[in-house]
Structure 1
Amino acid sequence: MARPKKPLSQQNSHLTKDEIADRELQEELIKVDSDKISCPSWVKGSIARKQFDFIAAELRRLGVITNLDINSLAQYCVAYANYVQATKELKSQSLLMKYTNKNGSTNLIENPLIKIQLKYSDEMKKWANVLGLTIDSRLKFAISKTQEVKDEIVDEFGDI
């Protein structure tokens, strides 16, 4: 399976001037507006909606969210709200529960809420990586922004 393409600003390989020009054109052609960023109506609950507004504001400040990212962010926020709910319910219960099987013997089993909590935790991690909410993705973004600033300085003052 081929690796996903990286934006030009995150490229580590040495590209020719023609390759750089091609990549810049490709990136310019896929730019999307960010004028309709609001929480979708299908997102229910105050926790998910507040999380959406908070993260959208932060991503907007960084300039990395577009209209096409709305549903991905909403899915992250729904998973977050469900994770919070499972965690709150688990807080008032034991981690182990007694289970009586068909034969009548009783065993201790893991509380099913733990699996639900882990499911939503995994879902959050998946969407966080997609949206750039992890520290790794933010560092990559910072590296690309740093390179842009350096390039602007070189363009303005030359290679001093």
Structure 2
Amino acid sequence: MSNINLLSEKIPEGSREDHAQREDAVKELFQHKDFSMTTPPAFMPAAAKEEWNRLLPVLKSDYPFSEVDYGNFVAYCLAYARIKQAEHEIKKFGTFQKNKDGTKRENPAVRTQSRAMGDLKTASTALGMTMIERQKMAINNAKAEPESDPFSELMKDE
């Protein structure tokens, strides 16, 4: 049996057994325990809670979202809140700040925001929320549909 890559962009070639294994693996994505938390964790800042409440219904209805995704979802919401807070600091104090000697330096919030954007991208990729990941899932769904065989259609009539 070959390794099955559910997000592969190439149509897997192989036996019926390989195709059946792929279909079983796709079904398995939806057999984990459903994501049960409806309220965000108390430790989250307000912006992270707002993002949690905004995204949770979408993730639960459109993705194979389950309990195993909890950590990535928390990471995504916290990163979102850090981006928002850093942007507030940047707007308030500027992208660059003056040192005591008059030279300019980058506002530390710029680095914080940049790191948070990287964290957000990592978490959103892990959750399948980026355009590229959604595209891969759509391609796989389309490829998982059985190809029509004109000869089998002819044979049904006999």
Place the TM-score, normalised by the shorter chain, in its bin: 0.7 to 0.9
Q: Deviations over 1:37-76 (max 9, x none)?
A: 4345254122111211222211222132111112211111
Structure 2 residue aligned with 1:145 = 141
Where do residues 4-43 of structure 1 align in structure 2 (5 Å cutoff)? Answer: 6-7=5-6, 12-26=11-25, 31-43=31-43
Where do residues 113-132 of structure 1 align in structure 2 (5 Å cutoff)? Answer: 113-132=109-128
Q: CA RMSD in A?
A: 2.9
Check the 8 A contact 2:48/2:78 in 1, yes or no. Answer: yes
Percent of aligned positions that are identical: 21
Check the 8 A contact 2:6/2:25 in 1, yes or no. Answer: no
Structure 1 unmatched runs, 5+: none
Q: 1:35 to 1:117 in 2, by over 3 A?
A: closer
Structure 2 residue aligned with 1:45 = 45
Helix, strand or coil: the match of 2:140? helix
Tell me the TM-score normalized by structure 1. 0.76
Q: Deviations over 1:81-140 (max 9, x none)?
A: 11101101111112211224xxxx542111111101101011101111111111011111
Structure-2 separation of matches of 1:38 and 1:11: 37
Check the 8 A contact 1:40/1:71 in 2, yes or no. Answer: no
Q: 1:122 to 1:93 in 2, by over 3 A?
A: same
Check the 8 A contact 1:90/1:113 in 2, yes or no. Answer: yes
Q: 1:115 to 1:9 in 2, by over 3 A?
A: closer
**Alpha-carbon shift at residue 35 of structure 1 (Å):** 4.8
Structure 2 residue aligned with 1:76 = 76
Structure 2 unmatched runs, 5+: none
Letter of the structure 2 residue corresponding to residue 59 of structure 1: L
Q: 1:135 to 1:159 in 2, by over 3 A?
A: farther
Q: 1:37 to 1:16 in 2, by over 3 A?
A: farther
Q: 1:147 to 1:82 in 2, by over 3 A?
A: same
Structure-2 separation of matches of 1:5 and 1:82: 37
Aligned length in residues: 149
